[in-house]
Chains A and B, each alone.
Chain A
Amino acid sequence: MMDAILQNFFNLEIAAKAWPFLLQGLWMTLLLSAIVVPLGLLAGLAVAVLGSLKRKWLSRLLVVYVDFFRAFPPLVLLIFIYFGTPFLGLDIPKLLAVAIGFLLNTSSYYGEVFRAGIESIPKGQFEAARSTGLSNAQTLRYVVLPQAIRNVLPDLISNTLEVIKLTTLASVVALPELLNNARQAQAITYNPTPIVLAALMYLLLLWPLVRVLSRLEHKSVAMH
């Protein structure tokens, strides 16, 4: 029984064979994360800052944007972009399609987080900063955002964790990231060891982030 489990789930021979292929996948996962996380943060920040300007039509438009892309499951968005665009005669590279789909989704979530952060700063601080002669932009840059970002740091980290986990969806359109390569290796070897190995790699990669998050969350609750 034990032998059968080892043979099937922790087969060292197969693990060794699949390892370079999985490593390649890991690089693609990291590359995709390195594209989507910073761009998503920037776009989310832009959404929140534009929303804080209190232009009525602009704010409404942004709420629609955010709710629209939060309502779509990211996988649906991805499939729509990837399988839909060829019907328009467009042929966009896989990585680009995946990145666009994730960005639309992720920027909405980051946008909501930044918005909550900006709203957590009392109005008096804007007014005080403006009265010292700082411009609107300077107030935002030097007074509001540094505090806002600190207030929502746990949510920013939590969302970043979600984004990295999201990259596994790219396997559905066969972008060669970690999960995709693990599944291919499994299909070739008729042995689930590569999937188990990939799961362990994800755990190793993301567990530290989960720990940091737990610590920050419990600290923030204890402060209330």
Chain B
Amino acid sequence: MSAWDRFVFSFFNLDIARQYLPAIAKGFVTTVYLAIAVIIAGVLLGLVLALLRSFRSKAVNFFIILFADIMRALPPLVLIILLFFALPYAGLSLDAFAATWVALSLVLAAFAEEIFWSGIVAVPRGQWEAARSTGLTKMQTLTHVVLPQAVRMTIPPLTNRVIAITKGTALGSVVALSEILNQASSSASQAGNATPLTVGALAYLLLFIPVVIFGRWIETRFAWKK
């Protein structure tokens, strides 16, 4: 067998691709499901934390900043492994999906909180005061004046962060969550052939190339006018 034939046989073997496609498709569904759950929980929690922080209570803010710092400093894989392998010793067992979901959501929440907070701070103080002086309550000022501007500024960095953390769903394979990567690599070792890995890689491209291009579009769409 020539080197080229061996390459095609090992990486683009159609028979093997066909055989393992269903398993990888199943992983694809899990990945999408997990990604959506992480995005919803992470962005919502981040927004809530940023809003809480805007009330400027010293004690509350101390804990929010501490949380955000720790979650941004800790590698997500370390967090997943802590939740999955260490937490059971405290009598609390999470399955692979829950551990990955909780870990990634916490990390996303920390980054989202910082991004939303930057946006809130970027709205000049005078606008708060002007809005309050027209008789709007604090809450109304926040929802009608500050947030609409803040959210607009935060969309590009938030999109990038969401994409980066969504790719972290692949880390679930380390705790044997049967998402794309795990399905692909166990299929590859079962088949003794790298083709399932190729199929898995293509599945990720299928999922993320549109997302990356969408992120690029968002970036120009919401760019600062110079």
Contacts and interface: CB of A to CB of B under 8 A. Distances in A.
Contacts of B198: 80
A186 B88 CA distance: 13
Given A162-B164, A217-B114, A218-B121, A71 B86 contact: no
A84 B122 contact: no
Interface stretch (B17-25, B51-59, B66-74): B66-74
Contacts of A75: 170-171, 173, 181
A168 B72 CA distance: 14
A202 B163 CA distance: 23
A4 B201 CA distance: 44
Contacts of B74: 165, 199, 202-203, 206
A150 interface: no
A202 B69 contact: no
A188 interface: no
B7 interface: yes
Interface in A56-114: 67-68, 70-76, 79-80, 83-84, 87-89
Interface string A202-224: 11001101110010011001101
Nearest to A116: B219
Interface in B181-226: 181, 185, 188, 193-194, 197-198, 200-201, 204-205, 208-209, 211-213, 216, 224
Interface in A122-160: none
Given A89-B6, A211-B69, A67 B213 contact: yes
A76 B90 contact: no
B102 to A, nearest CB: 15
Interface in A164-187: 164-169, 171-172, 179, 183, 186
Given A71-B209, A80-B201, A210 B185 contact: no
Contacts of B209: 67-68, 71
Interface stretch (B41-49, B77-85, B129-137, B140-148): B77-85
Given A87-B11, A179-B77, A196-B86, A73 B122 contact: no
- Binding site secondary structure of chain B: helix
A76 B77 contact: no
A209 B73 contact: yes
Contact of B73 (A73, A74, A183, A203): A203
Given A67-B212, A198-B78, A9 B90 contact: yes
A154 to B, nearest CB: 11
B167 interface: yes
A207 B118 contact: no
A88 B5 CA distance: 10
A89 B170 CA distance: 27
A71 B204 contact: yes
A5 interface: yes
Contacts of B77: 168-169, 171, 179
Contacts of B10: 84, 87-88
> A73, A199, A221: which has the most chain B beta carbons within 10 Å?
A73
Contact of B181 (A73, A89, A186, A192): A73
Given A75-B181, A192-B85, A221 B188 contact: no
Task: List the 7 shortest-distance A-B pairs measured between CB atoms, nearest first.
Answer: A192-B86, A165-B75, A71-B208, A73-B170, A87-B10, A73-B167, A206-B73
6 contacts: A71-B204, A72-B201, A73-B208, A161-B73, A172-B174, A203-B73
Interface of A: 5, 8-9, 67-68, 70-76, 79-80, 83-84, 87-89, 161-162, 164-169, 171-172, 179, 183, 186, 191-192, 195-196, 198-199, 202-203, 206-207, 209-211, 214, 217-218, 221-222, 224
Given A71-B205, A89-B3, 17 more contacts: A9-B90, A67-B209, A67-B213, A70-B208, A76-B201, A79-B197, A83-B188, A83-B197, A87-B6, A87-B193, A165-B74, A168-B75, A186-B86, A192-B82, A192-B85, A196-B82, A217-B114
